[in-house]
Amino acid sequence: MIQLLRWLLVLALALFTGKLFSKIKLPSILGWLIIGMIFGPHALGLMPDSILTAGWYKTVIMWMQCAFGLMLGTELVWKELKTYGKGLIITTLTQSLGTFCFITIVFGIAFLAAGVPVFLAFIFGGIALATAPAPALSIVNEFHAKGPVTSTLLPMAVLDDIVAIIVFFTVNSVVASSVSGGTVPLYMIPVMVLLPVIIGLVTGLPAGRLLSRGCGRGQTLIVLLCGITLTAGIGWFINTKILSGITLNYMLMGVSFSAVFTNMVDKERLEEITDYFHPVLAVSLLAAIVDLGAPLNYHLILGAGSYTVLYIAARGAGKYFGARFGAKATKMPETVQKYLGLTLLPHSGVSLVFTGIACATLASQPALVGILQGTIAAAAVINEIIAVIAAKKGFELAGEIEKVQIKKS
């Protein structure tokens, strides 16, 4: 009970701080992240490791990750996705695989010069290509961003997650063949991608039938909450009882679950459903961002070395120019070409998860673990603050926040 009260207090403080940040025209998420860091285990400790590792806390965050997947899934309307065509897929690949290649080359050169094994550069590349969707989603949710950049970003966040899983675990498995340590077998990689989608399909079909009947707010919320709980519960059971040691992506489960019912209801009903669910989504994003900030150690900013600076700069360049190249090659709108890359910079949650897995693979080589952990942990703190501001600026420059504000005034 005391742990729960501490967590709720931190959420309340984060909510209040977020409102203060919004008054000075900064995204609320920046306040949420900072509160997470201040009250996490590396600072004041109101949310110590005993809370972050507690079973009840992990279960709640797991549920909320599944819940904010609905923000992405409800954008995956098949009729609209067909209009994006190859542009969306090609741009996703150029910004993700482009980042992987660029980081790998940059760190390969740096490690050759420093006498560090070059295979570590591939791990850095595998970690760097991933994008954390929650920060950008929270900005879209807070400022009601709408336009070509937003419409491209939302489905791309799903595809980017899939590409990241495939590339990182492939690289990690190959590297593991030359060093001791556990890893995910190559045959499990498609399972990790497809299984969350299948789980969402199974639970989304009955939910879609119920939601298509046009029930009221209370009944709609009951169907959604029960559907999310069932989806996350099945995922948890498979994770813990069947595929021990393999972590499925709960956000992808939520995306798949909601994408199914999204394509089973008409446009007006879908708008009604998303409106009813908005308060739950807002709380889920708040909790997810605070959870993202809590493990970040702000002390690492002072100890950030040349590898950290190189990582942040190279990853930013890879994401921005990779997205710009793909969008221009496929003749996407000019605002997408110029500003989509800025919205893809948030990274820390995914990077820390991938880093933990990679460090387990490199456990027999502590010197390499030290380089990897120190670089990514420091980059996670610094990059996330920069990335949140850059993402909001990207939406502003694209005119997708300004347009809404003009309409309201």
Sign of CA dihedral 177, 113, 104, 377: positive
Boundaries of every domain in the chain = 2-408
Residue range 368-387: average pLDDT? 78
**Nearest alpha carbon to residue 101 among 67, 129, 69, 70:** 129
- Decide if pLDDT at 3 tops 90: no
Say whether pLDDT at 405 is over 80. no
C-beta separation of 175 from 232 below 8 A: no
**Virtual CA dihedral for 323, 328, 331, 335, nearest 10 degrees?**
70
Confidence of residue 409 (pLDDT cuts 50, 70, 90): very low
What's the CA gap between 53 and 40, in Å, rounded?
12
The position carrying tokens 């570590």 is 120
Mean of pLDDT over the chain: 81
Q: Is 146 exposed, middle or buried (0-12, 13-18, 19+ CB in 10 A)?
A: middle
> What pLDDT, in 10s, does the model give residues 255-283?
889 888 888 888 888 888 888 888 888 88
User: Does residue 102 have a pLDDT over 90?
Assistant: yes
- Residues 6 or more apart whose Cβ sits within 8 Å of residue 229: 63
Of 144-153, 194-203, 211-220, 293-302, minimum mean pLDDT range: 293-302
Q: Kindly tell me if the per-residue pLDDT of 402 is higher than 60.
A: no
Q: Is pLDDT at 381 greater than 80 in this prediction?
A: no
CATH of the structural domain 2-408, one choice from 3.60.15.10, 3.40.50.10140, 1.20.1530.20, 1.10.150.120:
1.20.1530.20
Query: What is the percent of the chain with per-residue pLDDT over 70, rounded to a whole number?
Result: 87
Q: Is residue 404 over pLDDT 50?
A: no
- Identify which of 212, 180, 235, 266 has the alpha carbon closest to the alpha carbon of residue 65: 235
Q: What is the pLDDT of residue 343?
A: 87
The model's pTM is 0.69
Residue 234 pLDDT level (bands cut at 50, 70, 90): very high
pLDDT in tens, 315-372: 999 999 999 999 999 888 889 999 998 888 877 666 766 776 777 678 778 888 778 8
pLDDT exceeds 70 at position 223: yes
| 317, two tokens | 């360049």
Q: pLDDT, tens digit, for every residue of 53-88?
A: 888 888 888 898 888 788 777 877 776 666 666 788
The span from the CA of 25 to the CA of 83, in Å, is: 34
Q: What is the pLDDT of residue 28?
A: 76
Structural element, H or E, at residue 23: helix 2-23
Is pLDDT above 60 for 406? Answer: no
pLDDT of residue 353: 67
pLDDT digit string (tens) for 281-299? Answer: 888 878 877 887 777 666 6
Q: Determine whether 35 is exposed, middle or buried from the number of CB atoms within 10 Å of its CB (0-12, 13-18, 19+).
A: buried
Residue 403 predicted with pLDDT over 60: no
333: Cβ contacts below 8 Å, ≥ 6 apart = 148, 327
